[in-house]
Each structure stands twice: as structure tokens, then as C-alpha cells.
Amino acid sequence: MTKIRRQIRCYGAVQGVGFRYRACHAADVVGATGWVSNEEDGSVCMEIQGTEEQIDAVLLMIERGAYVRIEQMAVKTIPLVEGECFFRER
């Protein structure tokens, strides 16, 4: 399975609703690595590394959370970070 890294910026009801907590938990469950952070414009940005399936699973787990409502996502593929071992809040 090929690993990829995506930078994903989510807009909508994404701050103050447990988004980062859910992202960390979901990434731990599926074995993805990277980070997630609240941005000043009200969005949440994350860089997540894993297989396409792992990344999709994390996004689905986040979206299933109560109160989280992702209205728009900006997604781009970026270079892998070698040696990264966990997913964290930033």
C-alpha cells in the first residue's frame, strides 16, 4: 500500500466542536501520522500521512462527530515526511 501525505484545510463548523480531538483519535485508530491545528480564519488545517484508505477513514470518523460540519475542504498532495511516528495537535 502506497503512503501519501495530504494537506487538508476544512471550513465550516470545525472549531470548538471537538474536530482536533476526533482527528487525533481517528488517526491513532487507523495508524495515520501528521498534525492538526486551528487557524486564525476559523478553519482547521491538517497534514495527514498514510494510505488513501487511512486518510479517507479519518475524514469519515471526523465527519461523523456530533456538531462537526465540514462545508468545504481544500486538499492538496504534498511530499511525505520521513520518520514521522504519530499524529498530534499543533
* C-alpha cell at position 64: 461523523
Residues 6+ positions from 69 with CB-CB distance below 8 Å? 12, 13, 14, 17
Contact at 8 Å (CB) between 57 and 26? yes
Active-site option among 6, 38, 69, 88: 38
Active-site option among 5, 6, 20, 22: 20
5 is catalytic: no
Three-class DSSP category at 65? coil
88 is catalytic: no
Distance CA 61, CA 26 (A): 6
Indicate which residues carry an active-site annotation.
20, 38
